[in-house]
Structure 1
Amino acid sequence: MSWLNGKRILVVEDEALIAVMVEDMLTDMGSSVVGPAATIEAALKLAATEMLDAAVLDVNVRGERIDPVADALLARGVPMLFATGYGEVKLANGHRATVIDKPYTQDKLARGLASAMGMAFQRSTG
């Protein structure tokens, strides 16, 4: 997807198999993956130090909510996409975000990122 070419996407996911799947999907769409981070602590470091165009965040990371990472990204103006098996997401600060349900496909991931980034979804024709 040309609109994702070169975009730096932070991935926070504690399930190794899902993290690899998301990394593969994003790479296939032309993005550069930052991470993936499997802990809140690692995600916070990346959120504070890396240049990011967007983030794909698991809502529950090793039993901890993603809120501190989301707050750090929100403060930097980084668009976020939340991936969860729990339905609607409302962060502790009341901020609502774009959500996709697990398990998801590359198409759902692309649509979710487009929505989070305020872009019209463009399906690849090539």
Structure 2
Amino acid sequence: MGDLAGARVLLLEDEFLIAMDAEQVLLGLGAETVKIASTLAEAEQLASNCHFDAAMLDVNINGQVSFPLAESLWRRGVAVVFATGYEMKNQPFPEFALCVTKPYTSADLRDTFSMALRRRAD
């Protein structure tokens, strides 16, 4: 079992194969459940109807950034990790969130989620 032992995770990813791969990695790291959303509207609906411990949000979903959803989740006590395939050095990420760059490895997700969950617990 990994650092996500028992965690309920919201995964926002609009690329089907990336979402399926990330789901398997997160489950392999010990997540109890992973709920996948492919649009911001779907993710917002899941977030309002379910309790999550952590979220992995693609930054750009069909031309929209997921930052407002991340802030809403953070206010509800959810650890937030952004995932992006873009170079984001100049992008103003919310200071509470961490980011992994695609393509990421299992170790990248393990380390980033571990840090995000520790931050959220503090």
Per the normalisation by structure 2, the TM-score is 0.86
Percent of paired sites with the same residue: 39
Say whether residues 1:99 and 2:99 are aligned partners: yes
Moved over 4 A (4+): none
Residue deviations 1:45-83, cap 9 Å, x none? Answer: 111221111111100011111022112202202110000
Match of 2:35 in 1: 35
Cα distance in 2 for residues equivalent to 1:3 and 1:95? 22
Q: Secondary structure at the match of 2:30?
A: coil
Asked whether the equivalents of residues 90 and 96 of structure 1 are also in contact (C-alpha less than 8 Å), the reply is no
**SS class of match (1:118):** helix
Contact 2:23–2:34 under 8 Å retained in 1 = no
Contiguous gaps of at least 5 residues in structure 1:
120-126
**Residue 2 of structure 1: how far off its partner (Å):** 4.1
Partner of 1:83: 83
Offset at 1:96? 4.6
- The equivalent residue for 1:22 is 22
Q: Distance in 1 between matches of 2:79 and 2:96?
A: 12
Q: 2 CA distance for matches of 1:90 and 1:33?
A: 30
1:95 positional shift: 3.6
RCO higher in 1 or 2 (8 Å CA, sep ≥ 6)?
2
Aligned length: 117
Provide the TM-score with structure 1 as the length reference: 0.84
DSSP 3-state at the match of 2:3: helix
